[in-house]
Amino acid sequence: MKRLLALSIVLAVVLVAAGCGPAAPTAAPEAEARTIRLGMVNFSLCCPYFIGMSQAVEEEEAFYDGIELLITDADGDAEKLTSDVEDVLAQNVDGIILSGAWLEAAPGALDAIKKAGVPVVMVDRLLKGGEYTSWVGPNNYQIGVQDGQYIVDRLGGEGFIIDLRGGPADNSIGLDRTNGMLSVVEQSNIQVEMAPDFGGWSSDGGFTLMEDMLAKYDKIDAVFCENDSMCLGAQKAIEDAGRSDEMFLCGVDGEKAALENIMTEGSNYACTGLNNSDQIGRAAFHRMMAVLAGLEAPQDTVLPSPLITIDNVYQHYNPDSVF
């Protein structure tokens, strides 16, 4: 059975009426049914991480009667993102959930939302500039710190590691992850070499970067990647070079393929920091429902991002996960 539409909204209305109405009991008129319309505006649905986040919102919406969800995909085009926002606003949405992916700022989109007086909940990336109602996502710096501490502990504070970055240079999420890792590793005697190019957050990009690093360095103790996709590509390059026993890998995101790798006996995929797009999407939907109910909600919510290793991987693995 579907959940009743915005039960919290109904309860809030009942409580207000109880406090303001006449002392003598009167027959209450039946509430008129109304459809709540939400926009799930995506900068990109290029890959499983963002698909999983959008799908989680869609699945939560499906539990409710009387909610209509409009989903858009700007295909990585900032101008189209603004156009998509304007389009859903023209359809009189009550709220917008905004996934900025790797976009750093979207002033046009946020200005349009502000002018319309519609609440906006950002997911994963907190866009720079502009006003917003709420944000739900991870602490990427702390995720990097966790990976860095694992590397230092496992290497005993000595060694040589490679850092594979997603890019571009001003990507705040990537910078937070690498800087978090460096904040710990640079206090040890471990040397860090950053790959000179960016891997574009993809498996193919990680493979290419790692091939270059393997050709350049005869001894590597560990590899840190700003996301799991690049780490999975790097792992393949390491395997092809016959050097899997030489080094271990640490990624970020908790991608299903990475967790399966960690579970595999003899794997050199050692750890990842959880950044669950499914959890983020579901939390954002319920945050929007709370906002529409008029309830007090924190503007920023950081979701838990535990370090995942062989010791706890089974607690976080979901074989049915999109990501």
Q: Are residues 155 and 180 in the same domain?
A: yes
4/200 Cα distance (integer angstroms): 43
Residue 28 domain flag: no
Q: Are residues 219 and 299 in the same domain?
A: no
pLDDT tens per residue across span 175-212: 999 999 999 999 999 999 999 999 999 999 999 999 99
Q: Are residues 172 and 240 in the same domain?
A: yes
Q: Are residues 145 and 251 in the same domain?
A: yes
Structural domain total, the chain: 2
Domain C-terminal end among 274, 293, 311: 274
pLDDT at 259 over 60: yes
Q: How confident is the model at residue 4 (pLDDT cuts 50, 70, 90)?
A: very low
| Order of strands across the sheet that contains 134-137 | 67-73, 36-42, 95-99, 120-123, 134-137, 300-302
Q: Are residues 154 and 202 in the same domain?
A: yes
Task: Map residue 171 onto helix, strand or coil.
Answer: coil
Q: How many CB atoms lie within 10 A of CB 32?
A: 5
pLDDT at 7 over 60: no
Residue 100 domain flag: yes
Could you tell me the pTM of the whole model? Answer: 0.85
Q: Are residues 165 and 248 in the same domain?
A: yes
Query: What CATH number does the domain containing 192 carry?
Result: 3.40.50.2300
pLDDT of residue 19: 36
Range of the domain at 69: 7-18+34-134+277-303
Residue 110 domain flag: yes
Residue 323 domain flag: no
Residue 114 domain flag: yes
Q: Are residues 181 and 124 in the same domain?
A: no
Q: Are residues 81 and 68 in the same domain?
A: yes
Residue 77 domain flag: yes
